[in-house]
Amino acid sequence: NAGVTQTPKFRVLKTGQSMTLLCAQDMNHEYMYWYRQDPGMGLRLIHYSVGEGTTAKGEVPDGYNVSRLKKQNFLLGLESAAPSQTSVYFCASSPRPRGSVYNEQFFGPGTRLTVL
């Protein structure tokens, strides 16, 4: 199993350009998440999905859109990139919780995005 994969690994954009980050998981997980990591800030949740066709906002959703058309894929879009969106983006997935059992999230390797 590849686990959680992210495409691309690196990208440089100019202000105002758009792009889509792709996350794929082969563990049949229901839940998927997008985080960004900035120096001194830890990881912050952008958007998440609890199943195919569903999405919801996290802590820092502004400037991003997401789609979950297939269970195994979760796309993160930047419609008009800004320098403040320079960050490392991590995708994660987890099984749906069963009762009181918590399931940890599994993370991809990250995408380093620079917006000039």
Partner 1 sequence: DQQVKQNSPSLSVQEGRISILNCDYTNSMFDYFLWYKKYPAEGPTFLISISSIKDKNEDGRFTVFLNKSAKHLSLHIVPSQPGDSAVYFCAASKKTGANNLFFGTGTRLTVIP
Query: Residue 57 pairs with which residues in a beta bridge?
Result: 47
Q: Which of 67, 68, 56 is closest to 29 using CA atoms?
A: 68
**16 versus 109: smaller Cβ distance to partner 1:** 109
Question: How many H-runs (helices) and E-runs (strands) does the chain carry?
Answer: 0, 11
N-terminal to C-terminal alpha carbon distance within the chain: 36
Instruction: Please report how close the Cβ of residue 73 comes to partner 1 at its closest, in angstroms.
Output: 17
CB atoms within 10 A of CB 114: 13
Instruction: Please report how close the Cβ of residue 16 comes to partner 1 at its closest, in angstroms.
Output: 28
Residues that bind partner 1 (CB under 8 A): 4, 31, 33, 35, 40-45, 48, 50, 56, 58, 90, 92, 94, 97, 100, 102-110
Backbone angles phi, psi at 59, to 5 degrees: -75, -40
Tokens of 98: 């069963």
**14 versus 98: smaller Cβ distance to partner 1:** 98
**77 versus 110: smaller Cβ distance to partner 1:** 110
**72 versus 103: smaller Cβ distance to partner 1:** 103
